[in-house]
Amino acid sequence: MLFYSFFKSLVGKEIVVELKNDMSLHGTLDSVDQYLNMKLLDIAVTDAEKFPHMLAVKNIFIRGSVIRYVHLPAEEVDVQQLQDASRRDAEQAKHSTKTGAAAAAAAGKGQPTKDTRPDQSDKVAAS
């Protein structure tokens, strides 16, 4: 959920989104959800000569799964802070995986270990 929160902090800012069909658009980030689907306002296609498909379109919804890159405004991003937060997030995920496995082993007491993955994903999502 870290990058979801991160993108929420960029709402209202101008971003460039490059799609997996090589089309690239810029516009104001209006909203984002947990799949990183994004809504952009007042968009323009970067290469309108090549992509005249959205000349009369201003507000769009982009499915998160088709986004290749998001170009961010450098002055809006604290890279150091983002890096620290990413590391903390990864560390926490690792930790909850370990405790999840240990708890399952203790509960099982020699019985076949059951799959604890749903538990872990819950913990990660909640943290």
Among 50, 71, 88, 95, binds other proteins (CB under 8 A): 50
Q: Does 70 bind other proteins (CB under 8 A)?
A: no
Cβ atoms of residues 47 and 24 within 8 Å: yes
Sign of CA dihedral 64, 70, 72, 77: positive
Residue count, binding to other proteins (CB under 8 A):
31
Task: Name which of 27 and 100 has its Cβ closer to other proteins.
Answer: 27
Task: Name which of 46 and 104 has its Cβ closer to other proteins.
Answer: 46
Q: Does 118 bind other proteins (CB under 8 A)?
A: no
DSSP 40: E
Q: Does 16 bind other proteins (CB under 8 A)?
A: no
Cα distance between residue 66 and residue 23, in whole Å: 10
Cα distance between residue 15 and residue 28, in whole Å: 6
Among 28, 39, 46, 123, binds other proteins (CB under 8 A): 39
Task: Name which of 18 and 101 has its Cβ closer to other proteins.
Answer: 18
Among 44, 58, 71, 105, binds other proteins (CB under 8 A): 58
Cα distance between residue 104 and residue 1, in whole Å: 25
Q: Does 61 bind other proteins (CB under 8 A)?
A: yes
Nearest-CA neighbor of 39 among 6, 73, 64, 65? 64
